[in-house]
Every structure is written in structure tokens, then in C-alpha cells.
Amino acid sequence: MKHWGFSLVVLGMATGFSLVAAQPVAAVGRDHITTADLKAKISQLSTDEQIGQLFISRAPATPEQVKSDVAKYHLGGLVLFGSDFQAGSAESLKQTVASYQAAAKVPLLVATDQEGGTVSRLSDSPSYQNTNWSSPQDAFAAGGMSNVLAQAKLTAETLKYVGVNWNFAPIADVAEDSSNYIYDRTFGQGYQSTAEYIKKVVPVMQKQGVGATLKHFPGYGAAGDTHTGFAKITTPYAELEKKDLLPFKAGIDAGVDGIMVTHIVMEAIDNTYPASLSHKVITGVLRKQLGYRGVIITDGLGMGAIGQFKAAHNIPSIDVLALQAGDDAVLATDYATAVPAIKAALQNHQLTTKQITTADLHLFQLKNKLGLLKPADYITPKLALSQYRQQQAKVTANVAVTMPSAKANTKLKVYAHHQLVDQVKLPKSGRVAIEVKRTSKVQPLTFKVAGHQFKSKLWVPARVN
């Protein structure tokens, strides 16, 4: 039964013999948030909240507007750009990000693009503008892989300090010609060497408590700038597998937290949709073929390539298309109009609730891994009776308690008619036997532990004379 937000589960009762049910997994002080806990929490969110969590959006112009939009639209995360870092010192940015988190019902993923070199948001900060945030390519040339990894570690530590918990890096793309658009942002080596770099750098970044993101799946190659317009790659799939996909496979094997999908049309996989909007690319290749289980996020949906595609195909909502393709998160600022469009798509059966909640689960799993979620908010205290023996003079029951942050040796007290009839110290497992004497009257039971009360539907029957 439900009582004060807690639950008591009676699994079995019998007269004169034991009825044994499967022992629940329960422990005093369980602070590990499970997938089941996350699913339960997501199911309790409203549809607007579930949809809002899918948006990782550029922070609006003022802190006041950021906090307002985070609360109103239930945004899952924010992206900080150069202007956000220019606004003040590292300390002031840290305080600002903390105020954004305070406005959120569910803690935010706070992201940025800190690749180093030409894409370095930290270089815009008054506190860090004199630090050499070199690109991985330049760091490797200056001091080899050890220098690259040292730079990655410093970068992640610095981001973590100011409140950024998700970096849109490292670049897993390989460009064979130095004249290619993406070349300067790449590792500057071949496919196998880039794969080795990705394999090593991902754990270094993520050990600092900052999620890493491979980009731009399935590989940028020699394509033009999708910020400004349409781009496509005609490379045969067999060649993509042997070359471009190698660094991404290495990152997946290394447990990378996120993968960003490019807007390039990969003709060998899908000759119609940009990769970021392609079910064949995202669900077919990345999920099913490569077995990736982490967060998949689009590249910015406000970029030129997507604007051209939307206009050419008269698509009412790019965000809906991204979710249909299998993206977990949309990198967009159009949440004010996109949330209603996604709700309409749910009502029209263009999207399913499962698609939304599955995407939410991937994002919540990342938030949990990064330590953003509090066990007390996600683990529901429970008291379960898993075995019951009724004898002539007494009743014995096995009790299992799950309660976040409670300590072993916490007392569990049992009351009948407001009278204390038993008390025991809970072991670390949370499982203990209680014993109640049968009296001449039926006795309703109440359990109290660590300031919480569980009223039971189980009544101890009157003694048999």
C-alpha cells in the first residue's frame, strides 16, 4: 500500500506454514540508482517534461531567460558558447551554471565544444584565455600521445570546475587532405592512428567526470561545411567500414558517453536523409550494427544543411524527424514550437511514447553516470514482507528494507495498536526477521525506521486458544 510516499509490499501469507516468495533485492542505504529506478522516475514525468528532457539547447542571451526557459520547458541540457565564457571569470561562470542547475527539476547536462585549437570555448574566458588550449593535432606534434592525453585531462578538469559536465569532443573524423574543411580539427593522422587516439583519450576525459562525445558520425571525411549548406559523401559502405568507422568503433569499445551525428548525406547508407535524420544511419548502423547504447545527439539543427533540407522537402518539424530516426537528444533552440509539434506527433502516432521514454532513459543514464542524480530522489523507500509464518502463539515474518542513505544498524521498530512489540537492528543487507506475539485481539502493524512510517495491510490474527 502507499503511505506518505513510501510502499509496503506483502508477498505472502499462510496459516500454520511458510509461504516463501523470491527474495527482493533490497538493502539499507542502497545508493546505486538502477535502470528500474530511472524508468520509474521517467514514467512519473508529464509528457511535456519527458519531451523537454530531449532538448540540449544553446543558453539564451541572459541568465534570467536561461533559468526561465529551463523551468518552463523542462530542458534536458544547455550548451555554452564563447559568449557564455566571455561573460566573466571562472568563478562567476561556475556560480551562473549552478543557478541554472537550481532552476531545473531534473539536473542539466551542461555541454560545450572544447576541442582545442580553432574550437576552444575556454579560450574566450578571462580566466583561461592565456592558457594554450592546443588542438590534439598540435599537441601530438609538440609532445606525442602523452602530451595529448595530459591536455585532455586538464581540459576535462577545467570544464568540470566551472560546471560543464559534457564535452562535445573528441573529433573522431579523419580527413586525408589538409585542404579539407574538417582537417584542422582532426587528430591529423590516419584511420588506425586516430582510432588508437580515440581509444586512449575517451577514458582520460571521462575519468574526470565529464562525458566525452565522438563527432561527427559516421565520419566527416572530405565533405564541405554543413554549417553553411548541403554536403554529401559518395564513399562506398565497404570503404567506410574499413576506414571512417574505425575511430567510432574504438570509442564505442572504450565506453564513450555520447556520439554526435553529422548532417552530411552518406549516400552509401541513405541517399535521401542527412545522417542526423536518417533511421538507416542512426538505428540501422549505429545502434544495431555497431551496438552502441549511449546517448546519440544531432549536430546543431539550426545549421545551413538542415535549413536547406527542410525547405527542399517541406518538412514541418525537423525535431520530430530526428526522434523518428532514433536520436536521443536534439541540439536545437526551437523548443517553444518543437515541444507542441512532438506532442502532436505522439497523438498522430508518428512517434510512440516508448521512443520518447527510451531516449529519456539514455539521457538519464548519462546524468546518473556523471553523478548528477541524487539517490534519495530516485530510490523509493520500501518495506517488503517476503516470508510469513503464522504459529499458535506468534507470527514471524522476514522483512526487507530499501532506503537510500540509511546506515546499517538502523533500528526497525514494529508497533501493534501503537504499542512497540518488536525492534531489531537492520544489517547491511536490509533483511531481518521480526516476531510478534499473538494476543486475544487482532493487531494491525506499523513499521518505523529512520523517521519513516509504513502502515501495513497485514494484521496479526488473534491467538488461538
Is residue 27 pLDDT above 70, yes or no? no
Is residue 20 pLDDT above 60, yes or no? no
Please give the radius of gyration of the chain, using alpha carbons only, rounded to the nearest integer. 27
Peptide bond into 349 cis (omega under 30): no
Please name each of the domains of the chain with its CATH number.
Answer: 2-31+379-460 (2.60.40), 35-374 (3.20.20.300)
Q: How far is CA 140 from the centre of its chain?
A: 31
Mean pLDDT for the stretch of residues 292-307: 96
* pLDDT score, position 18: 30
Q: Which residue has the higher pLDDT, 6 or 74?
A: 74
Mean pLDDT for the stretch of residues 345-350: 97
Q: Report the C-alpha gap between 160 and 323 in whole angstroms.
A: 29
Q: Which range among 191-200, 331-340, 389-398 shows the weakest confidence by mean pLDDT?
A: 389-398
Amino acid in the structure at residue 266: M
Q: Which range among 67-81, 136-150, 332-346, 441-455 shows the weakest confidence by mean pLDDT?
A: 441-455
3-state secondary structure 444-455: EEEEEECCEEEE
Kindly state the helix (H) or strand (E) to which residue 14 belongs, with its residue range: none
Catalytic residues: 227, 299
435-456, pLDDT tens digit by residue? Answer: 888 888 888 888 898 888 888 7
Is residue 2 pLDDT above 60, yes or no? no
Q: pLDDT tier at 41 (50, 70, 90 boundaries)?
A: very high
Contacts of 175 (CB under 8 A, 6+ apart): 181, 182, 183, 186, 220, 221, 222
Mean of all residue pLDDT scores within the chain? 90
307 in Cβ contact with 314 (< 8 Å) = no
Q: Report the C-alpha gap between 376 and 31 in whole angstroms.
A: 8
3-state secondary structure of 298: strand
Contacts of 358 (CB under 8 A, 6+ apart): 328
Residue-by-residue DSSP string for 181-224 = TTGGGS-SS-HHHHHHHHHHHHHHHHTTT-B-EEEEET--TT--
